[in-house]
Structure 1
Amino acid sequence: MTSEITLFVNPTAGRGRGARAAQPAASALREAGFSVRTVLGEDAGDALRRARDAVAAGTGALIAVGGDGLMSLALQAVAGTLTPLGVVAVGTGNDFARALGLPIRDPEAAGRLAADALKGRAPVRETDLGRVGERWFGSVLASGFDSRVNDRGNRMRWVGGRFKYDLAILAELAAFKPVRYRMALDDGPPRELEATLVAVGNGTSYGGGMRMCADAVMDDGLFDITVVGECSRTTLLKVFPRVYKGTHLGHPVVTVHRASSVTLEAVGVTAYADGECVGALPVTATCVPKAVRILGARTMGD
């Protein structure tokens, strides 16, 4: 493996943590003997083009420094290739890193771990990804109440982290109504259902620790598809706070399905994957086994 690796940086992540985190992460990698080249983009499209160019040129690894938005961009660059991905999670949500047992807001430790994995002293985990069309996702695809919360939360620039999503939940409850879905799992027949939301989990959480798909395993070749059925506002208020511990899965209104692909149809519903807008339903999501190699991630049973 080449000793030259690429640091993929979002300088605005976590209110400037991305820029601050790049230096200690790069220092840890250089101390381990790696030559580090930094990639910045003028915007998301430019950043992705530069990251893909680095992968195509044979970089030894792509080390993403930022939050889940940058991790999503990084996945588009490395998925389906042999180039490993290092994760230096310094954003507000960090759900992808959390699900993989990687350091959170500790760029020096994350840089050291990536270096150790590249040198064979820490694991390199082959991890599943979800795919919708040409877009890859690592954590959760949201549709319904949760995607509306995501949409509102993204507009709330004045507050960050988990609190932002708590406020967005309260705001969306005022306009809450169930969604009529048509859902098909794998090659099975479609079924119609009234539901509050359907979340397709490759990883366990979204929104900064909301464990909607708490039992999802990222290398089993299957999604965990969490359906919160039709319920009242009162019930939703009781159930939704439990997602932070994953205990909502035991509530009678919640069901979980496991499948390698799912098609969702509904009118007036937008899907989000890893916090990024995918587009209006219908969508078909497919779980792609071993689609990306993650430096230092936990292996099964850890």
Structure 2
Amino acid sequence: MTSEITLFVNPTAGRGRGAHAAQPAASALRDAGFSVRTVLGEDADDALRRAREAVAAGTGALIAVGGDGLMSLALQAVAGTATPLGVVAVGTGNDFARALGLPIRDPAAAGRLAARALKDGGHRDIDLGRVGERWFGSVLASGFDSRVNDRGNRMRFVGGRFKYDLAILAELAAFRPIPYRIRLDGGEAVEIEATLIAVGNGTTYGGGMRICADAEMDDGLFDVTVVGECTRTTLLKVFPRVYRGTHLSHPAVTVHRVSSIELAAAGVTAYADGEPLGALPLTATCVPGAVRVLAGHREGPGRTPGEGTATGI
């Protein structure tokens, strides 16, 4: 392994935390004896191009400094390669780092962990989701939650978390169950009415909402959380439970564990790792061991495809 590694930085992440976080992360890596090269990029496309060039040139690791948006870009650069990914999570949501149990908003600690993992061979090979040529690490969202994202992204007059609180209220006012057509692991297509369908490689989205609370990132399976047809009153009761993951026991919620899923619904945009993925229909596939993350490896048994929790729908 080369001692030169690449720091992949989003300077605007977390309202400017990205720029401040790069220095302590780089210092921790240099103190461990690594030569650090920084990649910024003029925009997302340019940043991704530069990151891919670094990977192709044989960098010892790509260390992503930013939020889930930058982690998503980094995954596009390293997935399916031998280049390990380091995570310095300093964004707003940080769901990818949270699912892996990595430091959040502590760039020095994250830098030290990455340096130690590079020296000691401490890593974890994890699965990724794939839709066409696009990879995702955490959750693919569709339905009520993605419509909240759509509406929030259109709101220019407010910012921060308050924008999405307003978007939730607006979507609740217009709430209707969505007719979906789904196919699990290439089986028979099923038509259902659902509030949302979330495809989880990781456990959380939206900065800690445990929508796929039992998902494991190295079992070769997605956890697909289906919130079925329910009234606005039921949704208001169930939705707050997502923060604790206790919604999975509600009779309106079903979880499927599968290696692939086909989703179709009219007028629904999918989001993956918080970024717009495109309109349904789509097919998502879980790719085992698609990326090597600089972290301690967790041992544990895999799970059986089709295994589910809760009943309903």
**After TM superposition, is the score higher than 0.5?**
yes
Deviation at 1:170, TM superposition (A): 1.9
Decide whether aligned partners of structure 1 residues 280 and 170 sit closer, same or farther in structure 2, where only a CA change above 3 A counts: same
* Number of residue-to-residue matches in the alignment: 299
CA contact (8 A) 1:88 1:107 kept: yes
Aligned match of 1:182: 181
Alignment partners' CA distance in 2, 1:167 and 1:31 = 46
One-letter identity of the residue aligned with 2:74 = A
Deviations 1:211-236 (A, max 9, x none): 10000000000000000000111100
Q: Classify the secondary structure of the residue corresponding to 2:255.
A: strand
One-letter identity of the residue aligned with 1:25 = A
Q: Classify the secondary structure of the residue corresponding to 1:142.
A: strand
Aligned match of 2:309: none
CA contact (8 A) 2:225 2:255 kept: yes
Deviation at 1:152, TM superposition (A): 2.6
Alignment partners' CA distance in 1, 2:141 and 2:262 = 13
- Runs of at least 5 residues in structure 1 that lack an aligned partner in the other structure: none
CA RMSD in angstroms comes to 1.2
Q: Classify the secondary structure of the residue corresponding to 2:120.
A: coil
Aligned match of 1:63: 63
Q: Classify the secondary structure of the residue corresponding to 1:287.
A: strand
Alignment partners' CA distance in 2, 1:3 and 1:52 = 18
Q: Classify the secondary structure of the residue corresponding to 1:141.
A: strand
TM-score, normalising length: structure 1: 0.96
One-letter identity of the residue aligned with 1:160 = G
Decide whether aligned partners of structure 1 residues 298 and 176 sit closer, same or farther in structure 2, where only a CA change above 3 A counts: farther
Alignment partners' CA distance in 1, 2:187 and 2:78 = 31
CA contact (8 A) 1:101 1:298 kept: no
Q: Classify the secondary structure of the residue corresponding to 1:82.
A: coil
One-letter identity of the residue aligned with 1:286 = T
Deviations 1:139-159 (A, max 9, x none): 000011011112233345643
Aligned match of 2:159: 159
Equivalent runs, 1:152-231 vs 2, <5 Å? 152-156=151-155, 158-161=158-161, 164-231=163-230
Aligned match of 1:81: 81
Alignment partners' CA distance in 1, 2:132 and 2:112 = 35
Alignment partners' CA distance in 1, 2:63 and 2:56 = 15
Q: Classify the secondary structure of the residue corresponding to 1:119.
A: helix
Aligned match of 1:98: 98
Deviations 1:229-265 (A, max 9, x none): 0011110000001100000000000000010000001
**Quick check: 1:146 aligned with 2:145?**
yes
Alignment partners' CA distance in 2, 1:150 and 1:254 = 21
Alignment partners' CA distance in 1, 2:234 and 2:132 = 35
Deviation at 1:171, TM superposition (A): 2.3
CA contact (8 A) 1:100 1:297 kept: no
One-letter identity of the residue aligned with 2:211 = M
Alignment partners' CA distance in 2, 1:159 and 1:249 = 31
Alignment partners' CA distance in 2, 1:83 and 1:90 = 22
Deviation at 1:299, TM superposition (A): 1.6
CA contact (8 A) 1:102 1:297 kept: no
